[in-house]
Amino acid sequence: MTAGDNNGVAGVAGALILDARTRAGLSQAELARRAETAQSAIAAYERGGRQPTLPTLYRVLAAAGFDLRARLEPADSHDSTLAEWEASLPEAERKRWRAKLATQKAAAAEWQAAGAG
């Protein structure tokens, strides 16, 4: 994720809120009550339609019983390196690679849904 990737940041914040809420076994309404905000705000954060401020993100996660711990790390070029590598592949190989990733994502989602995660 780059500094200009605002959609990715909103998506990450929403994913964190959704993960914390579901792991805590809370409804959107209950999390909103605990965080002293509106249920519609929780829904908007989770779908990436709104981006919470950092203090709001900390408050919502704390209301679900979680801490957000952040630290500065040197930038990791892994994503851009992987994208360049993928772009260098012939189209047939790219399709095979993407199909393999889709299969792995589906398996991970099934595993998580089964409660193993």
CATH number at residue 45: 1.10.260.40
83 and 49 together in one domain: no
The answer as to whether 109 is a domain residue is yes
Cβ distance 9 to 1 under 8 Å?
yes
State the Cα–Cα distance between residues 40 and 46, nearest whole angstrom: 10
**pLDDT digit string (tens) for 42-94?**
999 999 999 999 999 999 999 999 999 988 888 778 888 888 888 899 999 99
The answer as to whether 54 is a domain residue is yes
Q: What is the pTM of this model?
A: 0.60
CA separation (Å) from 47 to 2, 69, 78? 20, 22, 26
89 and 43 together in one domain: no
85 and 55 together in one domain: no
CA separation (Å) from 113 to 15, 85, 106? 16, 32, 10
- Mean confidence (pLDDT) of the chain: 87
Domain count, the chain: 2
The answer as to whether 1 is a domain residue is no
Q: How far apart are the first and last CA of the chain?
A: 24
Cβ distance 18 to 24 under 8 Å?
no
- Which domain, by its residues, includes 41? 6-63
The answer as to whether 69 is a domain residue is no
The answer as to whether 70 is a domain residue is no
26 and 52 together in one domain: yes
16 and 47 together in one domain: yes
